[in-house]
Amino acid sequence: MVTITSPTLLFIPESELIADYVLSFAVLAFVLIEFYLRYRKAGITLKPAILYVRKNLRRFIAQILNYGAFHRKNIKNRYAGIMHLMISYGILILFIATSLIFLSHDILKTTLGYGILVGDFYLNFEVWANIGGVILVVGLAMALARRLRNKVPLDTITGDFIIIFGLLLLSVEGFFLGAMKISLYRQSFDVYRFVEWPLSYIFPSMGVTGSYGIEVYRILWFSHVITAFGEAAYIPFSKLSHMFYSAVGIGVHPPKKRGEMSTPFVLSEALESGNFDFKVGAKTIMDLSYFQKTDAIACTDCGRCERACPAVMSGTDLDPRVVVQNVQRGLWNGNSEMVGVVLSENAAWSCTTCQACVEECPVLIDPHSYNLETRRTLVMENKLSKETSTYLNNLGNSFNPFGNSNSDRDSMLQYGKKMEEGMDTIYWVGCMGAFDPRYNKVARDVIELLKKGNVNFGLLGSEEKCNGETARRMGEEGRFQELVMQNIETFKKYGVKRIITSCPHCMNTFRNEYSKFGLEAKVEHHSETLANLLRDGQIKVKESKETVTLHDPCYLGRINGEYDNTRQIVKSTSNLKEMERSGSKSLCCGGGGGNYWYKVEKEDSISKIRMKEAIGTGASTVAVACPFCTAMLEDATRTMDAEDKIKVKDISEIIMENLEDKNETHN
């Protein structure tokens, strides 16, 4: 009876096997030392990572599995996702197969006299080894086609082709080695090696048999070993290094709310202690945080952030891929200035903080955080444009960016009650709602709908001050925290437990950032409140035949994950026609991150690009749910001379226009 077992390395002399394993361990040591030296040069030590893993082991494992092993973000792009899955799982399967061969033949057989590659286990092993080789070859072929077709703009370099062709050569050599082994030592059970079995019949027809066949096999085996060692030694210097760097970056990526910026100091504590010795921003690459450095090193230069970035689309000199790659190069090459080396001043101010780059990155990098840290440095060095200086001065002098007297906010009290005892819910009007004539109408509509829905709420009037969201994203952390302390004091005065606001930026700041400074209140965007009133029948609307498309505000959708309420409101009255880029893929209006308040050098308007997409749906109205989106998109319709083609309406205005008992409301 024939024993079902592996004849692996049957024709290779023991001396060559010993040399092979000595060299393999030398290459492994070289690769690990190279990784270690690169991290050390970047100022990244092992200790913080170990401490993080100890405290966050469950999160560490979950992130490695979700974003590393299962490619949670990669698979959102079907072609690229399948390609990456095939390549990574092909490499993984073949690595496991090679490790099992080493364990069985070189450890167990040597020490115990028997191996594990026998019987059914061996047959399954051979099937899976062939499957691994096939999916790797297919994945590499897809990668090669993607690079050559250039349908998706990629930053292709010579090293990319070295990786692809090197792995392809390694895979093909492996298949032909297996096929030759079957040809020279054929057994009936080798039919399980479904790729190598049919290939094995090539060699006898070519006269590659007997001792000559063995010599050819040994040459091919030596070539295979050299290819493997060469590819392995090239890993630290190629994009293939992201298998290691990305695993580290993904695993130690700290928990952080999408809409939360870092807090370099706490102003209240500094005022109390008198200690103002803290660092704000990042003047050099080495000033970046530990985790921002591990993030940058994890970047594989895939360009997904670049293709999603509205600043790139509009022709500014900001490119998130280039920013992260410049940080990475700076870490390898020594300390570098952020401004001038990593990005320009104009690039730093071009970021709309829409976080499309964060959404797209498959390895959890936050490219926009480098822009924000640079802005903090520019503010500290007083390198501000006239518009930015005016904005910040107005905020300091009159608690709003318009420079109006804050007492003008009291004009809203003719539409809603002032906060009083027994109320714990505030409708936060916001600066745009109070001072921008267009959005003031939206704020009045929301107030009217809240009253119609019997919501017990109050207004703060002149006690309301800007919450500082834009100041923080402009880099003025001190001004932001001054406003935080003042607003939280007002909230505590009235015992506020619930905040309703029409501005996603205000909502995000109260929900994700004020909580760090002591705010304990439920924060709702008016889309959530109004959708609940519609569901509960507190507000009733009639259907219209109008076709409406919906623009998802970045700070409501992508940053806070709220997509359903706005859609429910639009669908309750109209026919919803989605834009191609919607939901988490929605394109920014161009007004976030302070871009509404100043101008950056660019070739095109982000708001025009977005409005063209809205007009392309054939809808007569684009529904919005953000004061900045309203202003930016309406401005686009004016400059495009498209006011007759499409209207921009807040979701509250759509409800007001379609109320069943519309005559009972008033403004």
Whether residue 578 is found in the same domain as residue 613: yes
Q: Are 177 and 37 members of one domain?
A: yes
User: Strands 621-624, 498-501: parallel, antiparallel or unpaired by DSSP?
Assistant: unpaired
Residue 363 shares a structural domain with residue 444: no
Give the CATH number, domain containing residue 151: 1.20.950
Instruction: Round the CA-based radius of gyration of the chain to a whole number and report it.
Output: 31
Task: Say what the pLDDT of residue 173 is.
Answer: 95
Domain that holds residue 332: 273-383
- What was the pLDDT predicted at 12? 81
- Asked if 294 and 324 count as a contact pair (C-beta separation under 8 A), the reply is no
Task: Report yes or no on 265 lying in a domain.
Answer: no
For the record, the structure tokens of 543 come out as 């259907």
The residue count of the chain comes to: 667
- Phi and psi torsions of 498, nearest 5°: -145, 130
C-alpha span between 361 and 76 (Å, rounded): 11
Q: C-alpha distances in angstroms, 284 versus 260, 344, 511, 617?
A: 22, 13, 31, 45
3-state helix, strand, coil in the chain (%, to 5): 60, 5, 35
Rounded distance between C-alpha atoms, residue 392 and residue 402, angstroms = 10
Q: What is the pLDDT of residue 527?
A: 98
pLDDT of res. 1: 52
In CATH, what number is assigned to the domain containing residue 472? 3.40.50
Same domain, yes or no, for 476 and 358? no
Residue 256 inside a domain? The answer is no
Q: How many domains does the chain have?
A: 4
Distance, CA of 440 to CA of 445 (rounded, Å): 9
CA distance 470 to 372: 11
Residue 438 vs residues 184, 196, 368, 435, 629: alpha-carbon distances, Å:
83, 71, 30, 9, 12
Regarding whether 454 and 472 lie in a shared domain, the answer is: yes
- Contact indicator for 251, 64 with CB cutoff of 8 Å: yes
**What's residue 20's pLDDT?**
84
Q: Could you tell me if 242 and 301 lie in one domain? A: no
Q: Are residues 35 and 179 in the same domain?
A: yes
The predicted pLDDT at position 293 comes to: 94
* Burial letters 524-553, b for 16+ CB under 10 A, else e: bbbbbbbbbbbeeeebebeeeebebbbbbb
- What pLDDT score does 2 carry? 64
Domain boundary among 182, 215, 250: 250
pLDDT recorded at residue 667 = 44
| Residue 194 and residue 323 in one domain | no
Task: Answer whether 361's CB lies under 8 Å from 308's CB.
Answer: no
pLDDT in tens, 17-71: 788 888 889 999 999 999 999 898 888 888 888 898 999 999 999 999 999 888 8
Same domain, 495 and 568: no
Parts of the chain with a pLDDT under 70:
1-2, 8-10, 662-667
Rounded distance, CA 78 to CA 90, Å?
A: 18
Q: How many Å apart are CA 469 and CA 506, to the nearest integer?
A: 7
Of 119, 74, 125, the residue nearest 99 (C-alpha): 125
| pTM reported for the whole predicted model | 0.90
pLDDT tens figures, 81-90: 999 999 999 9
What pLDDT, on a 0 to 100 scale, did the predictor assign at position 114? 83
Question: What's the per-residue H, E or C state across 140-165?
Answer: HHHHHHHHHHCCCCCCCCHHHHHHHH
Beta bridge partners of residue 5, listed in sequence order: 118
The confidence score (pLDDT) of residue 158 equals 87
Between CA 186 and CA 448 the distance in angstroms is 85
Residue 227 lies in a domain: yes
Q: What pLDDT was estimated at residue 76?
A: 84
Last residue of a domain, one of 534, 568, 602: 534
- Residue 308 tokens read as 């999603």
Give the H or E element holding residue 650.
strand 647-650
Q: Which CA distances in Å does 529 have to 115, 416, 533, 538?
A: 66, 17, 6, 11
Residues paired with residue 548 on neighbouring β-strands, in sequence order: 576, 621
State how far the Cα of 600 lies from the Cα of 351, in Å rounded to an integer.
10
Neighbours of 366 (CB within 10 A): 20
